[in-house]
Structure 1
Amino acid sequence: LVVCMMGTDAVMRCFSVNGATLLADFLVNSYLLHWISLLSNVILYGDLPKNKENVIYLSNHQCTVDWIIADMLAIRQNALGHVRYVLKDGLKWLPLYGWYFSQHGGVYVKRSAKFNEKEMREKLRAQMKAETPMYLVIFPEGTRYNPEIPKVIADSQSFAEKEGLAILKHVLTPRVKATHVAIDTMKDYLDAVYDVTVAYEGTVDHKGQRKLAPSMTEFLCKECPRVHIFIDRIELKDIPEEQMYMRRWLHERFEIKDKLLIEFYDAKDSKRRNKFPGKSVHSKLSLKKTLPSLLFLGGLTASMLLTESGRKLYVKTWIYGTLIGCLWVSIKP
């Protein structure tokens, strides 16, 4: 389907940027519904928005599954194809996907002094000018929380201590730059910010120590019992505008996440572990929503792989598409 998306996007943009965006959103929606249909053990807490909104989605980051979690929440508002990501710059070199994330409204950013604020603002303004529906996913930690790399966690905690910020246990110290630029640029375009906290069951060992969050393969093979998601919908008026104050606000939001995760993983009362506080909802997708995309994706894949000409086209598109995509993002990220 990525091959199909690349081709149709390139052709449609020659005639209409808005038309290309609408078609791309439809194709992405079909592709992601196939994967989301495999997410059966998801428990939701907190604010559960149902109406479509232009939002920024802020979440803790532990594994690749986090990306699919964002898509799963978006589908509740019929906004699945509208999900865009702020991504680490190195991901733009992913074969085919790196180019397509950029074309689909994704923003690649570098860390610290190399962060290009002007470039990010221009990309977001172009999306607003085209009246593109916005569901922008940001992982403010900048990298995954990985208990198998304790140095990253220790460095994050040392930085927080040096800056006079609260030291966090189950999340990393968040970086404010991308969040500030996104909110500041789109403040008149956005409806809200979603602060999302994700916890995976089965990621604590018998000694009470955190384990690595599940990989995509492990998750799809049902090696993670359940995923728990706490959502807090925040009005833009409740977020400080100046970067210095927003930095403090963002850290406070991650302090709240940390407290939720401490309760989830470390509560002394075993009955309070492996769940967030408050009422919960078991999120399920009906067959009516997922079957059409499954049939569409299956038919498209079959037409490509079951014929000799289709297989040749498939291989050539991966090879040449990757080369062209890498050239494209090196010139126009």
Structure 2
Amino acid sequence: MLRTAVGGLFYWSFLALSATLGICFMTVPQLPLLLISPRLFRNTVDAFVSYYLMFVVATMELLYGIKFVISGDKIESIPGADNLIVMNHRTRLDWMFFWCCLYRHSFKSIYNLKISLKSTLRHLLGLGWATQFSAFIFMERSFDKDKHILRNMLHYYRRVRKDINLLFFVEGTDKTQTTTQRSHAFADKNNLPRYDYVLHPRVTGFSHTMQLMSQGNLDSLYDVTVAYKHTIPQSELAILKGQFPQEVHFHVKRHKKEQLPVEDEALQDYCKELWKEKEEQLREFYTGDKRTLYSWGDQHSVECSQLRRFWLVLCIIFWISATVLSVYLILTNSLVFYYVLASCLGMAIVSRYGLDTILAKL
């Protein structure tokens, strides 16, 4: 029943509702910390958001039965160090499924997660507000604008001494029929091979991001490949129709900073080579006999331990209970109702400017 249009509607509705109420009751009261202790604000908000991401992981794995196959290197969050994570962008939802990959590696990895997203996503009710509180990086898809946004946010993380795992989509957009045709046109114009399973990467943005992070505490570059077995949910609408994936595969390859080039042109060539390998890996996955990504390269597969599943169960119990209790208080207590209304109106107004932008300027 959950893998139907009714189940899809319930999925998005409950995620939006729980995120909105979580912000109102657990995050908005922390805003005074922005002036008192910006670093404490960052740590407490990121802890709250991490537990919410675990709840999303729990719903996907335990309630909707999505199987995740994780292989390759472990994403390590070393104190005082940052990581850059690049991944092919097969669907609009890759970043959400990736939370399941990070959770298997460590809670610290998901706690330090920051994502570069399209700027329009900051306005989504509840979920968009949560990403703003998390200080995700919202891009305008213009390098002249985005290089300043990226620099300001990286400076903000350093000011509050926040270690990050930055998920950066080098392709700039998800793979659709339209974007594939654009990628083919780019390849033909620049005498490059056409790719069927990835889009040609935007190497200028990759090189700039690598150089900025290398000026700080960059430890490693993680190259992640994502693939879907059977159903491929292209967008939020697919989930709304109940088209949940049966299996999502991730393969992780670690590149230590010492192994990476430094110069701009060399970094761009390095990125092109990563995507060439990714195209071959995905071609083998989708057309070959072996239907797992870890049959290509490292054979290590990461399973979800019983302890981690236990914590996922606790997350489901907590968030469902907290959401039901919050709704009850809103319906029965006028003070709570007006508080939530004021909080939502305030966030709607702040979203026009971007809480992430405000944070970067503090």
| TM score, norm. by length of structure 1 | 0.85
Distance 1:201 1:330, change over 3 A: closer
- AA partner of residue 314 (structure 1): V
SS at match of 1:228: strand
Determine if the alignment matches structure 1 residue 272 to structure 2 residue 311. Answer: no
Q: Residue 124 of structure 2 is aligned with which of 94, 114, 117?
A: 94
Distance 1:266 1:30, change over 3 A: same
Distance 1:115 1:166, change over 3 A: farther
Name which of structure 1's ranges 111-120 and 71-80 shifts more when overlaid on structure 2: 111-120
Q: Residue 161 of structure 1 is aligned with which of 171, 185, 188?
A: 188
- Structure 1: how far apart are the matches of 2:241 and 2:57? 10
Aligned to 1:172: 199
Aligned to 1:110: 140
- Structure 2: how far apart are the matches of 1:124 and 1:224? 34
* Structure 1 residues not aligned, in runs of 5+: 204-210
Determine if the alignment matches structure 1 residue 59 to structure 2 residue 65. Answer: no
Distance 1:61 1:98, change over 3 A: same
Q: Residue 233 of structure 1 is aligned with which of 241, 254, 261?
A: 254
- Structure 2: how far apart are the matches of 1:118 and 1:282? 37
Please say if residues 43 and 280 of structure 1, whose CA atoms lie closer than 8 Å, have aligned partners that are also in contact.
no
Aligned to 1:8: 29
Q: Residue 224 of structure 1 is aligned with which of 236, 240, 245?
A: 245
Number of equivalenced pairs: 320
Please say if residues 46 and 230 of structure 1, whose CA atoms lie closer than 8 Å, have aligned partners that are also in contact.
yes
Aligned to 1:17: 38
- Structure 2: how far apart are the matches of 1:325 and 1:151? 30
How far off is 1:305 after superposition?
Answer: 0.2
How far off is 1:202 after superposition?
Answer: 0.6
- AA partner of residue 250 (structure 1): C
Name which of structure 1's ranges 3-12 and 192-201 shifts more when overlaid on structure 2: 3-12
- Structure 1: how far apart are the matches of 2:146 and 2:57? 33
How far off is 1:331 after superposition?
Answer: 6.9
Deviation per residue, 1:20-53 (Å, 9 max, x gap): 0111111011111111113351112221345546
Determine if the alignment matches structure 1 residue 318 to structure 2 residue 344. Answer: yes
How far off is 1:3 after superposition?
Answer: 2.6
SS at match of 1:321: helix
- AA partner of residue 87 (structure 1): L
Distance 1:221 1:116, change over 3 A: closer
- AA partner of residue 54 (structure 1): D
- AA partner of residue 252 (structure 2): I
- Structure 2: how far apart are the matches of 1:130 and 1:22? 9
Aligned to 1:293: 315
Please say if residues 294 and 301 of structure 2, whose CA atoms lie closer than 8 Å, have aligned partners that are also in contact.
no
Name which of structure 1's ranges 278-287 and 8-17 shifts more when overlaid on structure 2: 278-287
- Structure 1: how far apart are the matches of 2:342 and 2:238? 27
How far off is 1:176 after superposition?
Answer: 2.5
Please say if residues 265 and 274 of structure 1, whose CA atoms lie closer than 8 Å, have aligned partners that are also in contact.
no
Give the structure with the larger helix fraction.
Answer: 2
SS at match of 2:36: coil
Please say if residues 201 and 224 of structure 1, whose CA atoms lie closer than 8 Å, have aligned partners that are also in contact.
yes
SS at match of 1:169: coil
Q: Residue 49 of structure 2 is aligned with which of 24, 28, 52?
A: 28
Please say if residues 141 and 175 of structure 1, whose CA atoms lie closer than 8 Å, have aligned partners that are also in contact.
yes
Determine if the alignment matches structure 1 residue 151 to structure 2 residue 178. Answer: yes
Please say if residues 55 and 191 of structure 1, whose CA atoms lie closer than 8 Å, have aligned partners that are also in contact.
yes
- AA partner of residue 77 (structure 1): S
Distance 1:192 1:303, change over 3 A: same
- AA partner of residue 244 (structure 1): E
Aligned to 1:208: none
- AA partner of residue 57 (structure 1): I
- AA partner of residue 48 (structure 1): K
Distance 1:121 1:291, change over 3 A: same
- AA partner of residue 35 (structure 2): C
- AA partner of residue 101 (structure 2): L
- AA partner of residue 317 (structure 1): S
- AA partner of residue 68 (structure 1): M
RMSD: 2.8
Deviation per residue, 1:128-159 (Å, 9 max, x gap): 2321020111111111112xxx2321111221
- Structure 2: how far apart are the matches of 1:202 and 1:77? 28
Equivalent pairs: percent with the same residue? 19
How far off is 1:10 after superposition?
Answer: 1.5
Aligned to 1:82: 112
How far off is 1:220 after superposition?
Answer: 11
- AA partner of residue 81 (structure 1): Y
Please say if residues 61 and 145 of structure 1, whose CA atoms lie closer than 8 Å, have aligned partners that are also in contact.
yes
- Structure 2: how far apart are the matches of 1:212 and 1:19? 37
- Structure 2: how far apart are the matches of 1:330 and 1:279? 39
How far off is 1:182 after superposition?
Answer: 2.6
Aligned to 1:198: 226
